[in-house]
Amino acid sequence: MNWDQIEGNWKQLKGNVKEQWGKLTDDHIDTIAGKRDQLAGKIQESYGISKEEAEKQISEWEKNQKN
């Protein structure tokens, strides 16, 4: 699934995001609204990791999402 599809299906994927990154609150997830850069920023903030590590985690998660 590419990021355009993820953004379009954000409401359905919010549960998967919460499962993957449990420290993100519902407010974070609603604010992100499918925006990849905002997701990376919230992951960095919540987990205290680098932007590169956040991007790596997002890429792995993206690959695991079914079309």
**How far is Cα of residue 19 from the mean position of the Cα atoms in its chain?**
10
Report CA torsion sign: 7, 8, 11, 14.
negative
pTM for this predicted structure? 0.90
In degrees, rounded to 5, the angle at the alpha carbon of residue 11 between the alpha carbons of residues 52 and 59 is: 20
Domains and their CATH numbers in the chain: 3-61 (1.10.1470.10)
pLDDT in tens, the chain (67 residues): 889 999 999 999 999 999 999 999 999 999 999 999 999 999 999 999 999 999 999 999 999 987 6
Q: How far apart are the first and last CA of the chain?
A: 5
Distances from the Cα of 42 to the Cα of 5, 6, 18, 66, angstroms = 20, 17, 12, 23
